[in-house]
Amino acid sequence: MKLSHRDFADVRVISVTENRIDAACAIQFKDEMRHLTDTGPGRVVLDLGSVDFLDSSGLGAVVSALKAVRNGQRLELASLNPSVERVFHLTRMDSIFRIYDTAETAIEGKSDAR
């Protein structure tokens, strides 16, 4: 599981560089996310554009990353492929996360837009 990140003025964009978040890598994903939010600014965007498969373990790992943020820090999502979006939609998790179409709109988006 490889995560890369780019820092902007007040937002860190984390990109998953593999194409699946599943039971085999969920724990590693959680650990790396934890590190990148710990050291990140008040707003973190997870870009899932490369991910074309996410199972319920992967979903749980994303939720776990959300639960690991600091007070006042927010974790948002960007670039969900249709199959990933479907899992968020079916489980209603799309109501929990602010989801942007692309990382670019996320970066432009006001941090208090929700």
Partner 1 sequence: MRAERGFAPPGAPATLSGVSVKELRLDVSATPYGVQIGLTTLRDGLRGIGIDDSELPSVELVLAEIFNNIVEHALAETEDGVIEVGLQCTPNGLWITVEDDGNPMPDGKPPLGLLPAVDVPVCDLPEGGFGWFLIRELAHDLTYTREGDKNLLVFRMAVGRGE
Among 97, 99, 106, 107, binds a second copy (CB under 8 A): 97
Nearer to partner 1, 21 or 107 (CB): 21
CA 75-17-46 angle, to 5 degrees, is 10
Nearer to a second copy, 72 or 82 (CB): 72
Among 39, 96, 104, 105, binds partner 1 (CB under 8 A): 96
Under the criterion CB under 8 A, does residue 9 sit at the interface with a second copy? no
* Cα 57 to the center of its chain, rounded Å: 14
Name residue, tokens 């179409």.
101
What dihedral do alpha carbons 65, 67, 110, 91 form, nearest 10°? 80
Nearer to partner 1, 71 or 110 (CB): 71
